[in-house]
């Protein structure tokens, strides 16, 4: 026996309610039914055969490989399981055992109780939802507190649940579940919390019990610090030794989209990226990240900061990552982009609004098919000591693929960010990126 029928599974053993008083199984004729121990049937499939729950919520009966019957949900959605309750109902559930449809009574109506409610009032279709609609919380059939997050399109981007024993501890007098922006030495971001009658945080999903006297999350709208741009912009060297301290200051590691645009001011670059002048503000990179957390931004939203490198600009995109496919940033000048996100590596050199060289996955010795110029990055590769890659790069002919070289050259480890700086002829320092820059944050369309 089982407590649930998971999506994509077949009903090969009875699914029982928590007390065992009701079960989903097969009758003597081979038809799927929900019945109690005395044989009282409250639901049956439309044909005999093997029952399966599909991801979209459809119940399907097949016999000898042929579909005999199908029953779908009024509104198809991604389903997790089907469960039987002690009152004989059969509930179709999404992730976290949250019911959305009853086979006996139809859709489970979602009742939004606002953005706060006592723990005991959640469950059975009753939820709390934050004002922007991106966060919601309820209690599952099993009694677990569950938080769901969606992006601007309503697509799921994450969930979190609390085991039953810990969830029950939240059923306290004069307390309410809601969300607060927590910003202290333990972290910065929105969390599902329990507040007391004085609106003090006494528990947080990511932290557990909180001392109410600490005043965590007491400020709903924390003020943003003031930042001042260097005036004049810090000068930048165009040659010489390379120092990666600026990369470390921004914690770029292997997840980044960074662009150098020569002879262009930060506001000019952000405007070319898509910003309206009124949307551009001044902040440090830390302040930008804090604002993104407070505004609950996701990877689909735009968050970019542009630092002045003398007369040039260093553009750092924390999300959206548009520059690697935006040669128009180089209109009237030269732009070089290094991109690395989730193992996908891109390197783009563009001039006057047109791509002149593109590379993927660090294969700098094998320019992409269709490159309009040969040897664009070869001098920089040679400066970095990659002689063989430089030779391969110089040997490339536009619109041709060369197979005359040993493939081992592609395995050389090239620092894409250093290569970007050398091709663009700039040497950023830690001081360039730890001060203020020009910032653009915008919601995804």
What's residue 399's pLDDT? Answer: 41
Mean pLDDT for the chain?
89
Instruction: Find out whether the peptide bond into 232 is cis, omega within 30 degrees of 0.
Output: yes
What's residue 219's pLDDT? Answer: 55
**Residue where the block lists tokens 């509104």:** 75
Which candidate, 73, 96, 85, places its Cα nearest to that of 145? 96
What's residue 186's pLDDT? Answer: 84
What's residue 334's pLDDT? Answer: 98
What's residue 371's pLDDT? Answer: 62
Q: How do residues 194-210 score in pLDDT, each as one tens digit? A: 999 999 999 999 999 99
Low-confidence spans in the chain with pLDDT less than 50? 223, 369-370, 398-410
Nearest-angstrom CA–CA distance, 138 and 145: 6
Token pair in block for residue 2: 């089982």
What's residue 394's pLDDT? Answer: 81
**Residue where the block lists tokens 């799927």:** 32
What's residue 174's pLDDT? Answer: 97
Domains defined for the chain, CATH in brackets: 4-107 (2.90.10.10), 111-214 (no CATH), 244-401+412-442 (no CATH)
Which candidate, 146, 140, 139, places its Cα nearest to that of 120? 139
Furthest-apart CA atoms within the chain: distance in Å: 87
Residue 325: CB atoms within 10 A of its CB come to 14
Q: φ, ψ for residue 432 (rounded to 5)? A: -65, -30
Q: How do residues 362-380 score in pLDDT, each as one tens digit? A: 677 666 544 667 778 999 9
Q: How do residues 415-428 score in pLDDT, each as one tens digit? A: 999 999 999 999 99
The answer to whether 15 touches 83, Cβ cutoff 8 Å, is yes
Contacts 24+ apart (CB under 8 A), 238-243: 238/425, 238/426, 238/427, 239/425, 239/427, 240/427, 241/427, 242/418, 242/421, 242/422, 242/427, 243/427, 243/429, 243/430
Nearest-angstrom CA–CA distance, 231 and 208: 46
């Amino acid at each position: 026996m089982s407590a649930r029928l998971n999506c994509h599974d077949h009903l090969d053993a009875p699914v029982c309610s928590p007390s065992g008083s009701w079960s989903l199984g097969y009758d003597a004729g081979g038809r799927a039914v929900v019945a109690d121990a005395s044989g009282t049937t409250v639901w049956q499939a439309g044909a005999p055969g093997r029952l399966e729950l599909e991801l979209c919520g459809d119940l399907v009966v097949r016999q000898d490989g042929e579909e005999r019957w199908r029953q779908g949900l009024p509104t198809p959605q991604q389903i997790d399981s089907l469960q039987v309750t002690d009152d004989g109902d059969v509930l179709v559930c999404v992730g976290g055992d949250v019911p959305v449809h009853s086979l006996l009574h139809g859709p489970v109506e979602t009742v939004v109780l606002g953005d706060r409610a006592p723990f005991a009032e959640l469950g059975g279709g009753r939820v709390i939802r934050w004002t922007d609609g991106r966060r919601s919380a309820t209690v599952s059939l099993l009694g677990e507190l569950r938080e769901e997050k969606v992006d601007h399109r309503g697509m799921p981007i994450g969930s979190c649940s609390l085991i039953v024993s810990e969830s029950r501890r939240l059923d306290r007098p004069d307390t309410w579940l809601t969300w607060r922006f927590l910003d202290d030495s333990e972290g910065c971001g929105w969390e599902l919390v329990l507040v007391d009658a004085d609106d003090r945080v006494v528990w947080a999903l990511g932290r557990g019990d909180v001392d109410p006297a600490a005043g965590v999350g007491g400020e709903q709208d924390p003020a943003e610090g003031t930042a001042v741009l260097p005036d004049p912009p810090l000068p930048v060297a165009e040659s010489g030794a390379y120092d990666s301290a600026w990369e470390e200051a921004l914690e770029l590691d292997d997840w980044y989209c960074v662009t150098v645009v020569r002879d262009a001011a930060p506001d000019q670059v952000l405007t070319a990226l898509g910003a309206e002048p009124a949307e551009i503000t001044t902040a440090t990179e830390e302040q930008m990240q804090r604002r993104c957390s407070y505004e609950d931004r996701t990877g689909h939203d735009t968050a970019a900061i542009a630092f002045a490198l003398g007369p040039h600009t260093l553009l750092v995109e924390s999300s959206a990552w548009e520059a690697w496919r935006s040669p128009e940033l180089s209109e009237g000048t030269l732009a070089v982009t290094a991109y690395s996100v989730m193992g996908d590596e891109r390197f783009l050199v563009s001039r006057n609004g047109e791509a002149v060289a593109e590379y993927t996955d660090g294969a700098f010795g094998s320019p992409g098919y269709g490159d309009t110029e040969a040897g664009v990055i070869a001098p920089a590769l040679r400066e970095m000591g990659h002689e063989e890659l430089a030779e391969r790069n110089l040997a490339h002919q536009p619109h041709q693929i060369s197979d005359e070289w040993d493939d081992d050259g592609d395995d050389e480890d090239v620092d894409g960010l250093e290569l970007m700086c050398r091709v663009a002829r700039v040497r950023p320092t830690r001081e360039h990126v730890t001060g203020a820059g020009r910032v653009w944050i915008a919601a995804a369309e």
